[in-house]
Amino acid sequence: MVKITLFIAAWVGCSLPVWAQERFDPVAVSGGGVWIRQGSDPWCVLDAQPLLSFVGSPRFGVAYSPGVFELGELAASAVTFVFPVPSGGAGVALTRFGFDLYNEYTGAVAWGAGTGPLRYGGSLRYRRIAIRGYGSAGVVTADLGGLLVPASWFRAGVRLTDVTRPSLGGSGERVPAGVNVAVMFILPGLLDCSIQAGQDAVGEISGSAAVSVRCTRWMLLRGGASGDFGRLHGGIILDGGVASVGYAFSLDPLLGLSQMFSLTFILPG
């Protein structure tokens, strides 16, 4: 209970309106938060909207993270659905993070389009924070992104988050915008390596890196580092064709271990 109290105090006392939980995507979590990757999946709605342009069939995903930061009371969950449209792909997502005293909720709609080497996308998100004893507040934010795929072995992209910078509650403080740039080098069918640099909510620059190894047609191993490479991540995705199972972990030197489990289904259509 002491750790929970400290957690609440940290975010209630924060001078800027920031979100305690940003990663509900097991693919991104296992790769240290690097959003750029091959192909597309339901989680693109949350953090990789340009990749929705590659959606070829409807997909549904659920994810759950128990005991976030080794705090048994905290949990994170997400539900996503993506589908192809004539210009590319679109999707919706719902997320929740918290416990009975503190909760963050998000509802998102996203799209992605493009032709040839240029892909782009964006999303609108309604984000709400509720703290017992302090009330609740919600905002609508927007994310934008672009991706360049000039060759089968290389990708580069940029994402802008919370570009509308709305104010949260009556404080007048605006949600800080973020930007990150990522590049990926691919050895088709075997592995890929990604590096990402971005500006966080308090204006500091941080880096992340990820490596994915295709062990077999149905098994993908993924690992990464973030937070100036002091935070370690990893995971495995087992792909059975119409369904896949994912596991990801994040090990922070201060906050401890977080784990995430996911199920993804390809739907007819």
pLDDT per residue over 33-44, tens digit each? 899 998 888 999
**Are 142 and 166 a contacting pair, CB within 8 Å?**
no
Q: To which residue do tokens 């339901």 refer?
A: 42
Q: Which candidate, 37, 41, 55, 27, places its Cα nearest to that of 157?
A: 37
3-state SS class at 71: coil
> Which amino acid makes up residue 267?
L
Degrees to nearest 5, angle at CA 99 with 237 and 32: 35
Which residue numbers in the chain have pLDDT < 70? 1-22, 168-172, 200-203, 228-229, 269
The tokens for 187 are 């050895």
Token pair 């605006």 is found at 174
**Helices and strands (H, E) in the chain, number of each type:** 3, 14
CB 24 within 8 A of CB 62: no
Burial class of 145 by CB neighbour count within 10 A (0 to 12, 13 to 18, 19+): buried
CA 99 to chain CA centroid, nearest Å: 20
**What pLDDT is recorded for position 200?**
64
User: How many CA atoms are closer than 13 Å to the CA of 159, on its beta-carbon side?
Assistant: 29
pLDDT value for 72: 77
Helix (H/G/I), strand (E/B), else coil: 66: strand
Return the half-sphere exposure (C-beta side, CA atoms, 13 A cut-off) of residue 29.
29
Pull the structure tokens for residue 209.
């890196």
What is the rounded CA–CA span in Å between residue 60 and residue 75?
21
Which CATH class, in words, describes the domain spanning 2-11+21-266?
mainly beta
Query: What was the pLDDT predicted at 260?
Result: 92
How high is the pLDDT of residue 191?
Answer: 95
pLDDT at 67: 78
